[in-house]
Each structure stands twice: as structure tokens, then as C-alpha cells.
Amino acid sequence: MQQSLVFKVLDVLSDGKFHSGESIAKTFDISRVSIWNAIKKAEEFGVEIYSVRGRGYKLIQPITLLKKSSIQQVMGEIHHWFNVEIFDVMESTNSYLMEKASSDHPHASVAATHIQTKGRGRRGRSWQSALGESLTFSLLWRFNGGASTLSGLSLAVGIALIRSFHRFGVIGAQLKWPNDVLIQDQNQYKKLAGILIELQGDMEGQSSAVIGIGINLKLSKKSLSHIDQPATDLTSVSVEEINPNELLGQILKDLADVLGQFNTSKFTSLKEEWMTYHVYQHQTVTLSLGDGRSVIGLAQGVTQDGALMIETPSNGIETFSSGEITLRKA
């Protein structure tokens, strides 16, 4: 997608050096007033910019913007499989692709955005992604089978994320059923990434899944204060800085592998790998159900189709296909 002037200016400033308003204006053949307005708009997005008379503008914190060519370079030959769109600002990447899913929009379409203003999580939770703080994108994937065959899809996507994180040296990441990636930070498990999957199509015919993924890159104290659960980011848990273009390219590669395997043999072939990352295995948990009930028991893994198994003293092992799981404190 065509960049707005704000993001064109940020792209110039992303090298971390001072650039005068005059030089930026000449680059884009526009007035210095337009550059000044773009700088002010960037500050409204939360970007901190030095403004020094006689020297120009400089970013206080460097920002790496998403670039389609950089993402494709990481993906190698398989980049032809994907239709990647990058947006400056949008309400929700999931909503965008859900609207496209019913049309002839290409399979393996990706929508990524620098800023998301009305992101949606599970159970109707809303959240925003500020510039440079998270990697936010969605993937449209079409399946020959109906929605009834997609049980365990969110767990499969979690495996792809874990594989990608491992390739960047983030080896402590684990999976919380059904769709969160957690990692231990300061002796506490905190959320590093989340998955939201929405389905469209018949239960038995062809179906489409929009896979939304949000990964915390570098959260500000302000953003952390607005999150209703313990959270961390890649900057806090990785040894080296991770380039978001390289990360997105690698995740798409790993998703292609995992989704191909899922399409052939469903979650059954991925279950064993998922179990190795199950963060609450054999621990006492509380599962909050949609009807207000709660189930307390030992987490005993998942079934062949990704349902959670909980062992209770009264009912033995029960299986659940939805709910919110939390670790029960001793």
C-alpha cells in the first residue's frame, strides 16, 4: 500500500540521524510546512522526536518500519505464495481480511499494520497497537474442509510462533491453551503474543480462517499499564534486537509449514510437539467457561483435536473446547 507522508518522513528518520526539514521537503518535493505537520502527526501517534534548531529532526528511539521487500527476502522462494499488504494505520487487520474472505481475495493474503486502533481479542476484548510496540498482522488461509475440521487450529498456529521464536533465540517461550504465548520474565509467566482466529464458511464445505497475531516487541510503560494481565515483550526477553521484518518473514515461513501439515493430518500430527510447550501441564488450573461456571483441576494436556483435558476429583478427566484458563495459586 502507498505510504502516507507521515510514514515517508518516519522512514527517512529511521536511520537515527538528524535530518533538516528543508532536506526532507526537497526529498518529497513538498513544503517545509507539510513536513512540520507530518512531524506533529507522528508525535500524535506516540513517536518521540527531537527538534533542534539548525539541525532538524531526529527520532529519540529508532523505529524499524515494515517493508514488503525485506519480508519477502526472508521468505525466499515461497514469498510468491503470499499476498502481503502493509498498512500505516487501520482499525483491525482481522476485520479487513474477514471482509475479504467471502470474495475471491487470494489465499495466503497477509495484512500487517504499523498502528492498529481497534484490535480485537478473545471474548470481545479490545486493544490498540502503538507504533513500534508490536508486530500486528493477520493471515487469510483457505481450507478445502469445512469449519468442523479446523479444531485445534489455534494450537497449531501457536507451534509456528514457538518455532519462529526459537530461531531468534527466544527459547523459553511456552504455550497457554488455547491461543497465548507466555514466557518467564522476572520469575513470572507473562504474555508475549496472542492469537485470534475467526472462521468463515460452511461447517462441512470449504472454509476460510483469518488468523490474527499480535506480538509484543517493545511495550512502553503506558501500554503495560493498560494491559489487564502480566505482559512482556521481545526486547525484555531476547539477547539481541529482533528486526520485525525478519520476524514476520520467518513466521510466515513457519506458518506455511505448520498449516500445510495441519491441512493434511489436522492437529493429530502436531499434538506431541504442542504438549512439549504446554505451560500448565500437570498443574492445578481454573477454567472459566462462557456460561459463568468454573472448573478447577489438573491440566492433563489436550485431545487429538485440541480440546483441553482437566482432571477433577469428582468427575475424573473432562474435555473442554473453549474457556479461559488461569493457573490456580497455592
Question: Are 113 and 234 members of one domain?
Answer: yes
Query: Does pLDDT of 19 surpass 80?
Result: yes
Q: What is the mean pLDDT of the chain?
A: 93
CA distance 48 to 250: 29
Query: Does pLDDT of 175 surpass 60?
Result: yes
CATH for 294: 2.30.30.100
Q: Rounded to 5 degrees, what are φ and ψ at 319? A: -115, 145
Average pLDDT over every residue of 155-173: 97
Last residue of a domain, one of 32, 59, 86: 59
Query: Does pLDDT of 63 surpass 60?
Result: yes
Question: Are 74 and 178 members of one domain?
Answer: yes
The grid cell for 11 is 522512514
For the purposes of burial, counting CB atoms within 10 Å of the CB of 92, is it exposed (0-12), middle (13-18) or buried (19 or more)?
buried
Query: Does pLDDT of 122 surpass 80?
Result: no
Predicted confidence (pLDDT) per residue in 263-300, tens digit: 999 999 999 999 999 999 999 999 999 899 999 999 99
Question: Are 146 and 223 members of one domain?
Answer: yes
pTM: 0.93
* 118 confidence band (pLDDT: 50, 70, 90): confident
Residue 268: strand, helix, or coil: helix
CATH for 16: 1.10.10.10
Which residues constitute the domain of residue 164?
A: 68-276
CA distance 262 to 156: 7
What interhelical angle do 68-75 and 244-265 show, nearest 10?
Answer: 50
Task: Please report the pLDDT score of residue 124 as a whole number.
Answer: 54
Question: Are 138 and 262 members of one domain?
Answer: yes
Question: Are 139 and 117 members of one domain?
Answer: yes
Question: Are 27 and 176 members of one domain?
Answer: no
Query: Does pLDDT of 46 surpass 90?
Result: no
Question: Are 188 and 117 members of one domain?
Answer: yes
Q: Could you give the number of structural domains in the chain?
A: 3
Question: Are 176 and 109 members of one domain?
Answer: yes
Predicted confidence (pLDDT) per residue in 193-211, tens digit: 999 999 998 877 889 999 9
Question: Are 76 and 122 members of one domain?
Answer: yes
Closest C-alpha to 270, from 299, 321, 305, 307: 305
Question: Are 272 and 288 members of one domain?
Answer: no
Task: Please report the pLDDT score of residue 123 as a whole number.
Answer: 53
Question: Are 112 and 168 members of one domain?
Answer: yes
The DSSP output letter for 8 is: H
Question: Are 140 and 200 members of one domain?
Answer: yes
